[in-house]
Amino acid sequence: MSVDSIGRAYRVYRRRVARCRTENQVNRVHIVLGNYATPAEIRHFNTLLARDNADQSSRGWLAGFRGMMPHKAPRAEEFERKGFFPSMSLYSSNAGPRSDKTLLIGFAGNFHRLSMPAPVFLDCFDPALYDVIILRDFSRGYFVRGMPGLGGSFFEAMTRMRQLVDPRVYRNAIALGTSSGGLLAIFAALLLGLPRGVCVGGMDFPQFTEIVTRLGVAPGPYADLLASRPNPYPELLIVYSGHYAVDVKAAEGLHGRIPSRLLGVKHCEEHGVLGWKLAQGRLPPFLSKLLGQSLERSDAPAMTETR
């Protein structure tokens, strides 16, 4: 992303803030910024806000984002955002061919996030090695009503997404979902034939069935998908907070339905496992463990996850 385009984005952002008349409106602008911004934008916005002696609230928000970002320095290659639709953003860099990269397909949960602002999550990954898609469900319908622009159902949306960004051209492709997006990552791995699917703090299938039925969507195709045993079968990982009773029960239930591995996070008492790991300063190595591969090039500083 060029400095010019970041400068334009910054001016749009400042105009939006300038139009705000209440604290809630200011918060809303920054929540949306946190849902879409790249790490490079956050770094540049911080610099520009200081130069402009901007309002304290904006500076506080941006400093907060910056403070959470695990990789403290700018990268040689940075993620750029390609916003296909509000519900689907692709973050990628021009560095290297896709055949050398991993495509990570993220199903956002509550508040349209993967448990944290997008730039914070993205900052865990070397853009030379990863392209990241973030999918958001604005209908709050657990993705089963599809996503505007992508299709009217989860199945239509996945077909369209694959036409836009084909996981098969990548070295590896992994679906990862948090909270209400967790189970959908499992569905996506099965449907798209991905090597790996990671469900973090997701629900079990009976609760999903109950919800989608109430939404007027037939659960049958999802039951069929869950019962399918494609060959090769994806490596499915079910991650949960070890001390959050609802999630423990859901994870164990789902684990009983599909060939999968369970990973309970010790000492975590919160629903948001990834956010908890971030607060502990251990998110990148934990994500590396979930994905089964490094997040950085081998010449980058080593990361270890011990818990």
Partner 1 sequence: MSAPQELSRARRAVFDALKIGAPNVFLDDMRARFIAGEDFSIADLEMDSLGLMEFCISVELSTGVSLVPAQLAELATTDVVEARIREQLA
Site track for partner 1 across 235-254, x = CB under 8 A: -----------x--------
Count CB atoms within 10 A of the CB of residue 237. 24
At residue 138, φ and ψ (nearest 5 deg) are -75, -15
Nearer CB in complex with partner 1: 110/159? 110
215 binds partner 1 (CB under 8 A): no
Site for partner 1 in 136-155 (CB under 8 A): 140
Look up residue 284 and give its two tokens. Answer: 């990148």
User: In whole angstroms, what is the distance from residue 246 CA to residue 244 CA?
Assistant: 6
Closest-CA residue to 208 (of 223, 197, 188): 223
Q: Which stretch, 22-30, 90-98, 99-107, 221-229, contacts partner 1 (CB under 8 A)?
A: 22-30
Nearer CB in complex with partner 1: 22/304? 22
User: Any idea what the Cα angle at residue 209 is, between residues 208 and 210, rounded to 5°?
Assistant: 90
2 binds partner 1 (CB under 8 A): no
Q: Which stretch, 25-33, 150-158, 248-256, 291-299, contacts partner 1 (CB under 8 A)?
A: 25-33
Task: Work out the widest C-alpha separation in the chain, in whole angstroms.
Answer: 58
User: Would you give the DSSP letter of residue 110?
Assistant: G
Closest-CA residue to 238 (of 256, 259, 263): 263
Please list the residues that pair with 221 across neighbouring strands: none
28 binds partner 1 (CB under 8 A): yes
Report the nearest approach of partner 1 to the CB of residue 31 (Å): 7
Nearer CB in complex with partner 1: 76/279? 279
262 binds partner 1 (CB under 8 A): no
Look up residue 243 and give its two tokens. Answer: 């001390």
At residue 12, φ and ψ (nearest 5 deg) are -60, -45
With beta carbons less than 8 A apart as the criterion, state whether 254 and 263 touch.
no
92 binds partner 1 (CB under 8 A): no
58 binds partner 1 (CB under 8 A): no
Q: How many residues bind partner 1 (CB under 8 A)?
A: 16
Report the nearest approach of partner 1 to the CB of residue 111 (Å): 6
* Binding site residues, partner 1, CB under 8 A: 22-25, 27-28, 31, 110-111, 140, 179-180, 214, 246, 271-272
